Amino acid sequence: MVNGQQPRLTARQQLILAGVVEEYVATGFPVGSRTLVERAALEVSPSTVRHELAVLEEQGLLTHPHTSAGRVPTEEGYRFFVERLLDRLEPRPAGLDLDLSGVESQVDTALRATTEALADLTHLLALVSAPPLETTSVRHVEVLLLQPNVVLVVVITSTGGVTKRLCTFDEPVDPGLADWAGQYLNETVAGLQLGARLLRSRLEDPALSEREREFLRCFAPAFTDVLASEEQTLYVGGAAGVLDEFRADELRTYRRLLEVLEHRAAVIGLLRAGLMSKRPFVRVGPDLEDPDLVGVALVGAPYGLQHRNLGTVSLLGPMRMDYVKAIAAVRSGAHELSRVVEELYEG
């Protein structure tokens, strides 16, 4: 990369670079000119290809290890390759072998199924971030009089989550008050997001009597405590399988990757940038801002609602990964999850 800009390559140079990346990903061995002519069906001589390889090396896109005549991609070479892939994506992703029809009432089950499917399909480390809790809306509220002075409130969210709050009063509760509370909450807070200011105001509505407001105050934690006590959930799959994708000289990087995973906040921070993206994204080596992850690449895609991203579907693995397959997988996973959350949040 020159002055922060990617080099300009001819169509033939782009084809040769892509051939080097794909062949190196497949075999793990440096790629020579004769191999490129044979495998990439280039209609030029090996000597012409050798010249172009030398030009690509001067551009910083390829390098050759030790005295080998073959070349391998550099970080810049991978970055150039994946940017061309992202620029040529079809409008609609290919289908992923992922059936979420039976889990559409539970977002967490759909997220887990997506994580497992991506890990099995790619043998990479699959990371799927859950929607922020404050974006979840209230679907239904139950107020149950369990004993004369014990009331249970059950809040069911749009994503299938359930929170409960048990309230014990000094005196027996009027059954009519409990029935009113259930009806009032379903009429006034159903459909509101857990983090919405309007939801909190409905529990303290001045139009209500003091007796009614005092009764509702006991239930407020069922709507608010979950936001204060829980962090955004991250689903992880394939930690064992991805080990097979790292070579012996890359095991230090793999160990560092596992250390990073132990700090979920750091991983969510890596993925958060993807929430601002409208298309799939790739982070290569230094883009991850961790000197011990220079040999790692992150491929991801956002999912969510038409007007807002809610989370990301990502794959982490060695820089020498199958980017075509990885990009297709995260796009398909994100597409399926978007369909599920749209039905749950807006259905």
Phi, psi of 71 (to 5 degrees): -115, 155
Residues of the chain with CATH 1.10.10.10: 11-84
Are 149 and 168 within 8 A, CB to CB?
A: yes
Give the tens place of pLDDT for each residue, 113-168: 899 889 988 888 898 988 877 677 788 899 999 999 999 999 887 766 778 889 99
Tell me the CATH architecture of domain 135-229.
2-Layer Sandwich (3.30)
Q: Beta strands 234-237 and 162-168: pairing type? A: unpaired
What is the 8-class DSSP label of residue 193?
B
Residues of the chain with CATH 3.30.390.60: 135-229
Q: What does the pLDDT read at residue 57?
A: 94
- CA 321 – CA 84 distance, rounded (Å): 16
Q: Which CATH number fits domain 11-84: 1.10.10.10, 2.60.40.1190, 3.30.420.480, 3.30.1490.190?
A: 1.10.10.10
- CA 300 – CA 331 distance, rounded (Å): 8
- CA 238 – CA 160 distance, rounded (Å): 26
Residues of the chain with CATH 3.30.450.40: 93-132+232-346
Half-sphere exposure of 263 (CA within 13 A, CB side): 7
- Please give the structure tokens belonging to residue 271: 């993925």
What CATH class is the domain 93-132+232-346? Answer: alpha beta
**H or E element in which residue 288 lies:** none
Q: Is 137 helix (H, G, I), strand (E, B) or coil?
A: strand
Half-sphere exposure of 255 (CA within 13 A, CB side): 5
Give the tens place of pLDDT for each residue, 174-185: 999 999 999 999
Global pTM reads 0.74
* pLDDT per residue of the chain (347 residues) written in tens, 0 to 9: 444 566 789 999 999 999 999 999 988 889 989 888 887 677 788 899 999 999 999 999 999 887 667 899 999 999 999 999 998 887 777 666 665 655 545 677 888 889 988 998 888 889 898 887 767 778 889 999 999 999 999 988 776 677 888 999 999 999 999 999 999 999 998 888 776 677 878 888 899 999 999 999 888 888 776 555 455 678 888 777 676 777 777 777 777 777 777 666 667 667 776 767 788 999 888 887 777 777 888 999 999 888 888 889 999 888 889 999 999 999 999 998 888 888 776 65
CB-count exposure of residue 71 (10 Å: 0-12, 13-18, 19+): buried
Q: Is 235 helix (H, G, I), strand (E, B) or coil?
A: strand
Sheet containing 150-157: order of strands: 138-147, 150-157, 162-168
